[in-house]
A and B are shown apart, each in its own frame.
Chain A
Amino acid sequence: MKVSEKLHEAKSGDNSENLSAAGKLAYYPGCSLKGTSFEYEVSLLRILEALNIEVKEIPDWNCCGASAAHSINHNLAVALPARNLAIAENGGYESVLAPCAACSNRLKSADYELKTDEILKKKITDSIEMPYNSEMSINNMLEFLIGVVGKDKIKTLVKKPLSGLKVASYYGCLLVRPPKIMQFDDPENPVTMDELVAITGAEPVDYSFKTECCGAINSLSKPDVVMALTGNVLYDIKKHGADLVVVACPLCHSNLDVRQREIERKYDEKLGLPVLFITELLGLSFGIDPKDLAIDGHMVAADRVLKKIEELSK
């Protein structure tokens, strides 16, 4: 059995209604979802509404420190996420949804360190002046959809199957690595996002660079490097015949979407690949208006794909 299969067996199931009704689902949006990746939050809240699931934003949450903190200050990299986790745990939440892959990665990493290093835990809880006992489950977007909401429940909402559409799922680094801490899907051949794509009726496209890095944080400081890495991913996706790409990470989205025009210019080859958040793709299959999903907020226009969806559904 593959790692991912095992994971599904263990985690799959619909527990969302109980948790949601009991107000136990905490939501950690993170900075990107309030800024450059606002489309992610808009579409997420829209599909949660359709799924009849209520999540509550962690009160007065702060930035997780992202890559900057762990890059130059290990204690900060644990303390900043720890404050958010402690607020949620002490608020009685049982589960945290962190849609941003970087945030969920940092929350999980901090939780792991606090669980395994007593000395560090003392130091951190002293600083944030709150107790923390690592009792919540922390979920990235895909884990939440598959593990908490459940595939069966999502299936019931698909009103407008996207059959005929070819979709490449791009996982990047932070969702699956390091596997020791993320404990999510197969780190080399992840399948969860492809499964969600299949639920929408679209055809998942297999390609070689699903988990190759897009350059992430170095987007501003090393744009050339990022364009080379992101270019590799995008051209590989293009070669495998996808109509569009789905992601579950604002950093990946920025690089694949915002930098796409530049990459086309730099390598002198057209891409024209709309990059959607997985929540947006699900929303489309639920029959939600693209505008309500903020799909027009992307830099690469999805018009052609949206038109194709309309034609296919006729």
Chain B
Amino acid sequence: MKTVINEQNRRNFASQVESMLHDKLSKCYQCGKCSAGCPVNFEMDYTPNQIIKMTELGMEDKVLHSKTIWLCVSCNTCSTRCPKGFEVTGIMDVLREIAEKKGITSKVEKEVQMFHEVFLDNVKSNGRIFELELVGKYKLKTRHLFRDMFLAPKMLEKGKLKMHGEKIANLNQIAKIFKDFE
């Protein structure tokens, strides 16, 4: 556990995060209230307040490869209770987006990341979510073919799983949005 701080790298990373976040890392005074209330803290490798400090210190590699950023469920408990009004939930979004753009796949939590990717693919091709297709593609990609399968028959019986998805009429508009921002 040792980090040699390279001033230039530190500044680059911290200011990239700050400009995407529209908030200042120096605002955080490390009280830990975010980590105290985080519902998924128990699974994380770094607590949310550690992620903020590590980002400030420019520990880009560790932060972008962390489990924490993918485990965060964006429940906003941290931001709501943060005494400094710091965008704790927001920083997780920013770090995930940077990781995604850099093509960094989380080794441990790749399933969360894959789910987001498959989800957006589904939106891209239909304009809406076709749940059966979403689940199917996600399972193929993660190879967890049989996980949760026991739920399927009853869900089908209850009418929860529709066999046909809906596509929106102006899919070209969705295509444009994706083209502009992907």
Contact = CB atoms under 8 A, between A and B. Distances in A.
In the complex, are there CB atoms of A and B closer than 8 Å? yes
Interface of A: 31-32, 34-38, 60-63, 65-77, 79-80, 83, 117, 126-129, 173, 176-179, 187, 211-213, 215-218, 220-223, 225, 228-229, 258, 296-299
B148 A223 contact: yes
Interface residues of B, number: 62
Contacts of A176: 80
A221 B128 contact: no
A11 to B, nearest CB: 20
A285 to B, nearest CB: 24
Given A34-B166, A72-B120, 14 more contacts: A63-B123, A63-B128, A66-B119, A67-B74, A73-B181, A74-B97, A76-B182, A187-B80, A213-B39, A213-B40, A221-B142, A222-B43, A258-B151, A299-B160
Interface in B102-117: 109, 111-117
A39 to B, nearest CB: 9
A3 to B, nearest CB: 12
Contacts of B168: 60-62
23 contacts: A60-B169, A60-B170, A62-B127, A63-B123, A63-B126, A68-B116, A69-B123, A71-B116, A72-B96, A72-B97, A73-B100, A76-B181, A79-B180, A127-B180, A128-B177, A173-B75, A211-B77, A217-B115, A220-B135, A222-B71, A223-B148, A225-B71, A299-B151
Interface in B160-182: 160-162, 166, 168-170, 173-174, 176-178, 180-182
B120 to A, nearest CB: 5
A211 B39 CA distance: 11
Contact of B115 (A34, A36, A68, A296): A68
A40 to B, nearest CB: 11
B43 to A, nearest CB: 6
B96 A177 contact: no
Contacts of B131: 31, 35-36
B36 interface: no
B39 A36 contact: no
A34 to B, nearest CB: 7
B39 to A, nearest CB: 4
B73 A65 contact: no
A76 B79 contact: no
B159 A177 contact: no
A86 to B, nearest CB: 10
B158 interface: yes
| Cβ-closest 9 pairs across A and B | A177-B76, A213-B75, A68-B119, A31-B129, A75-B181, A173-B75, A68-B116, A221-B111, A127-B180
